[in-house]
Chains A and B, each alone.
Chain A
Amino acid sequence: MVAVTEPASREAAAVSAGPRVDYGMLRLRRLRNREGYLAWVLHRVTGLGVLGFLCLHIVDTSLMLQGPAAYNQLVKNVYQQWWFQPLEVALGAALIYHTLNGLRVILLDLWSGAITHDRTLRRIVAWSFLAIMVPLAAVMVWPFIRTH
């Protein structure tokens, strides 16, 4: 039998308990803690999103070694284009959500009584996310609206 590695987080363990229903690669399971499931999935999805961007960003920043013409051309033709801004806002949203939910995870790890307040914590994450993203998106996009 191939040994299955333990899920590294308490969150994943709560999700993976319960009888299994195998739907191919997704491996959906009959969940016990359904409530934290969306947060857990979003944490992974946003993490992957930020990681993917990070790799592209390291490559594009390496253009600095090629001189002003090359770097400025990329920045002007991609990052400063109006059509790219929704992607920038999405990146910011992924980063903000991953950060807020990550802080919630750390709180759950450090304070044993926190799990009874998990629903409240997830609500705080959601509302904080909106409170940060709405003004942040406005600030990011405003210069582009102004010049049109």
Chain B
Amino acid sequence: MAVAVRARRPAVTSAAGARRREFYSWYFFRVSGLLLVVLALGHFLLMHAVHNILDVDYTFVARRWVSPLWRTYDWLLLTLALLHGFNGLRVMANEYIRPRQARAVATWLIAGATAVFLLLGTYVLVAFQAPGM
């Protein structure tokens, strides 16, 4: 029999906290998805339809990255796509991985991968300087 009186868990770890986070995640998919329609499709069409992949080389990218606007575009695309994608992977891990410990490990790995790719992409976009441009 459970003890009649017990301390309430803090909101971060409680089931109510989890529901709140899942709601934010649900919302984030829709908002980021709509932004990505423009950002991701725009990027893909720019590289494959407006130009062709045969035109893309170091000079092509370096010229784009002269402009801070393009760097910002690329960074927004990077961030939103990574978060949208890895959040989706997290949802799938929650559905398909049954053992609680394994699910926790998977979630931490997903968070770690998100951080690594986000940091790498951000670093490239911030640090790149074409010599003599």
Contact = CB atoms under 8 A, between A and B. Distances in A.
Contacts of A72: 57-58
Interface string A95-113: 1100100110010010000
Interface string B102-133: 00000000000100010011011001100000
B62 interface: yes
B37 A103 contact: yes
A71 B95 contact: no
A2 B98 contact: yes
Interface residues of B, number: 48
Main secondary structure of the interface of B (DSSP, over half): helix
Give the size category of A's interface with B: 35 or more
Contact of A140 (B34, B49, B57, B58): B49
A58 interface: yes
A76 B44 CA distance: 18
Interface stretch (A30-38, A61-69, A114-122): A61-69
A5 B94 contact: yes
Nearest to B117: A58
A54 B85 contact: yes
Contacts of A99: 36-37, 40-41
Contact of A55 (B26, B92, B117): B117
A40 to B, nearest CB: 11
B49 A139 contact: yes
* Residue among A5, A44, A102 having the largest count of chain B Cβ atoms under 10 Å: A5
